[in-house]
C-alpha cells in the first residue's frame, strides 16, 4: 500500500517542523515536500536536517506548486494571505488541504469556502483532541445554563503570537453561541479597556494574554451570582496540534469536496 503523500507549507516554522516530524512518525504517511516564503533563510536546506530527522534528500522549496502536485494533502499553518493563495493552488493542482491558520478575515473565509466547493478542506482553529472535546462540552453547558451565567473566555499564548483572540478562543466562543442558539458576532465582546459600563447580559467576553513561551491555555468561565464553572485546556507541546493535523490529513484523503472541521474528523 502506498504511503499517503503529505506536503507542508511554512515547513521551517515552529509548527512546520512539528508537522514534518509527525508525518514521519505516523505509519502510512510520508513527506511529499516542504516550502517556505521567498527569501526565507531555510530555503535549500534538506527537510530532514531541518527537522532533526536525518537527511531525506528533499529541500525546502520557494515555489510550492511542485509540492502541491506531489501531495494528496497539504498542511497549512501559515498566515491568512498565504493560506488563501495556497487554497487557490490546491484547487489548481487537486490537492486537499488542512488549514490551521488563524486570524483570517471575512473575505479570507469566503475564499476558503469557495475553494471547498472544488476540493476537500479541513479547517480548524485548534487541531488537538482535548480542545475539540472542550468545545463540545462548552456547547452543551451553554445550552443548559441560561443568561444568568455570564460567559467569559480567557486565553494565553507565547509572546510571538500575532493574532488575538486566538482561533481556539473563537472556536470555543462559537461553540458557546451555538449552544445558546445565538449569532456569535452579535454577542462577542473583545478586550475591555477604560470606562466600559456594566456587562451586557448574554455577551460572550474574550481576554487575551501574551507572554513567555506558553504554547496555549484556554479557559471558558460560566459565572453566575454565587457560583462559577470553569472548563480549561492547557497545551504543553505543539506536537498535540501536529498529531491532530496529520490525523485530519489521513481522514481527508480521498474526500472529494467540502469544508470540514475537527468535529467531523473525530466523529464528535
In the chain the first and final C-alpha atoms are separated, in Å, by 29
In angstroms, what CA-CA distances link 138 with 44, 109, 175, 187? 45, 24, 6, 16
Q: Determine contact, residues 258/121, Cβ cutoff 8 Å.
A: yes
* Alpha carbon 178 to its chain's center: 19
pLDDT of res. 96: 98
**Residue 161 in 3-state DSSP?**
coil
Alpha-carbon distance 236 to 24, whole Å?
A: 21
pLDDT of res. 1: 64
How many helices (H) and strands (E) the chain has is answered by: 10, 12
Same-fold call for 4-123+238-266 versus 129-235: no
pLDDT digits (tens, 9 = 90+) for 119-146: 999 999 889 999 999 999 999 999 999 9
Domain boundaries, the chain: 4-123+238-266, 129-235
Cross-strand bridge partners of residue 152: 205, 221
40, 86, 118, 157: the active-site residue: 157
For the chain, which ranges sit under pLDDT 50?
none
For the domain made up of 129-235, give the CATH fold. Answer: Dihydrodipicolinate Reductase; domain 2 (3.30.360)
Alpha-carbon distance 8 to 23, whole Å?
A: 10
161 is catalytic: yes
Q: Which three cell numbers stand for residue 238?
A: 505543539
157 is catalytic: yes
40, 161, 184, 255: the active-site residue: 161
- Which CATH architecture is the domain 4-123+238-266 placed in? 3-Layer(aba) Sandwich (3.40)
Alpha-carbon distance 65 to 70, whole Å?
A: 9
* Alpha carbon 190 to its chain's center: 20
Global confidence as pTM: 0.82
Amino acid at each position: 500500500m502506498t504511503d499517503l503523500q503529505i506536503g507542508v507549507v511554512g515547513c521551517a516554522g515552529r509548527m512546520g517542523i512539528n508537522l514534518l516530524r509527525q508525518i514521519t512518525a505516523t505509519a502510512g504517511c510520508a513527506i511529499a515536500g516542504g516550502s517556505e516564503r521567498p527569501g526565507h533563510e531555510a530555503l535549500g536546506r534538506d527537510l530532514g536536517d531541518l527537522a532533526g530527522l536525518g537527511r531525506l534528500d528533499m529541500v525546502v522549496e520557494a515555489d510550492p506548486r511542485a509540492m502541491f502536485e506531489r501531495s494528496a494533502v497539504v498542511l497549512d499553518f501559515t498566515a491568512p494571505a498565504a493560506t488563501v493563495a495556497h487554497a487557490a493552488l490546491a484547487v489548481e493542482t487537486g490537492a486537499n488541504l488542512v488549514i490551521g491558520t488563524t486570524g483570517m478575515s471575512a473575505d479570507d473565509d469566503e475564499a476558503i469556502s469557495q475553494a471547498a466547493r472544488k476540493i476537500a478542506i479541513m479547517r480548524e482553529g485548534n487541531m488537538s483532541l482535548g480542545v475539540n472535546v472542550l468545545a463540545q462540552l462548552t456547547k452543551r453547558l451553554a445550552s443548559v445554563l441560561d443568561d444568568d451565567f455570564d460567559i467569559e473566555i480567557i486565553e494565553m499564548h507565547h509572546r510571538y503570537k500575532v493574532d488575538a483572540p486566538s482561533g481556539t478562543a473563537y472556536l470555543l466562543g462559537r461553540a458557546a453561541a451555538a449552544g445558546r442558539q445565538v449569532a456569535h458576532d452579535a454577542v462577542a465582546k473583545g478586550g475591555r479597556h477604560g470606562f466600559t459600563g456594566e456587562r451586557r447580559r448574554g455577551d460572550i467576553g474574550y481576554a487575551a494574554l501574551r507572554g513567555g513561551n506558553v504554547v496555549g491555555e484556554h479557559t471558558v468561565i460560566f459565572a453566575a451570582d454565587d457560583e462559577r464553572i470553569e472548563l480549561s485546556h492547557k497545551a504543553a507541546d505543539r506536537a498535540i496540534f501536529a498529531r491532530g493535523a496529520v490525523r485530519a490529513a489521513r481522514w481527508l484523503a480521498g474526500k472529494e469536496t467540502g469544508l470540514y472541521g475537527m468535529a467531523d474528523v473525530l466523529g464528535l
